[in-house]
Amino acid sequence: MCGSTNAAPSAFPSGASYAIMGRVGRLPGGGLAKGLAVTLRTMTRRSITRQYPEVQPDLPPRSRGVIALFEENCTVCMLCARECPDWCIYIDSHKETLPAEGGGRARTRNILDRFAIDFALCMYCGICIEVCPFDALFWSPEFEYAEYDIAELTHEKERLREWMWTVPPPQAHDPSAEPPKELGAAEKASARNARRPASPPGPAPEADA
Ligand code: SF4
Ligand code: SF4
């Protein structure tokens, strides 16, 4: 009648103890008694709060903290910037022509001038890392790069390169899994080389007249 079933917030489970506490809470000084009851009930439970930053959180090694760039692998294909749903990857480059060598043709290649990620916009979806065909982007579990100035959250390639030192090594393969394709290809190439007859060093001997 008095709406007691609706008095408790929906987030609390219904039960006899909560009904009693609800009634106690409406008495004079009942709020204090109710608070003390909650304190008594929870003080014996294990604490789940962490004293960060004095105590560092125990994060899984593959946590998505920050994105690292291995610049040497980047071919400026622009795939990551095109696929990023937030458009928060900025890439600038120019072309450089390499002189012809050994009778070949001159070659052009892309030189990376700027690679930046705006972590104020990034939603840590990981699409850029997934789509990079040249293994140039990696997750690092580092997360302590908060800034007072939002502009500082745009990390240029030098800073993204520094994060590479914090990228954990790849996980070991499952012993019962198939060996990686690269390993199989390397073993085949090695076996092929072993079967090939050894060629004598130096120029080929001249034929007898
Ligand atoms: S993690 Fe997602 S949002 Fe962030 S830069 Fe990569 S693709 Fe863009
Ligand atoms: S997808 Fe990879 S290789 Fe291509 S521009 Fe992005 S980081 Fe560089």
Q: Which residue minimizes the CA distance to atom 2 of ligand 2?
A: 132
Q: What is the pLDDT of residue 21?
A: 63
pLDDT in tens, 165-180: 999 988 787 888 887 7
Structural domains of the chain, count = 2
Are 101 and 28 contained in the same domain? no
In a domain, 103, yes or no: yes
Q: What is the pLDDT of residue 11?
A: 43
Are 94 and 34 contained in the same domain? no
In a domain, 79, yes or no: yes
Ligand 2 nearest-atom number relative to CA 73: 3
pLDDT in tens, 100-146: 877 788 889 999 999 999 999 999 999 999 999 999 999 999 999 99
pLDDT of 186 higher than 90: no
Query: Chain-wide mean pLDDT for the chain?
Result: 84
Please classify residue 74 by burial: count the beta carbons closer than 10 Å to its beta carbon, then call 0-12 exposed, 13-18 middle and 19+ buried: buried
In a domain, 208, yes or no: no
Are 79 and 149 contained in the same domain? yes
Angstrom distances, CA of residue 49 to CA of 46, 57, 58, 185: 9, 10, 12, 50
Are 145 and 98 contained in the same domain? yes
Are 132 and 75 contained in the same domain? yes
Query: Which residue range(s) make up the domain with 27?
Result: 16-44
Query: Does the C-beta of 88 come closer than 6 Å to ligand 1?
Result: yes
In a domain, 81, yes or no: yes
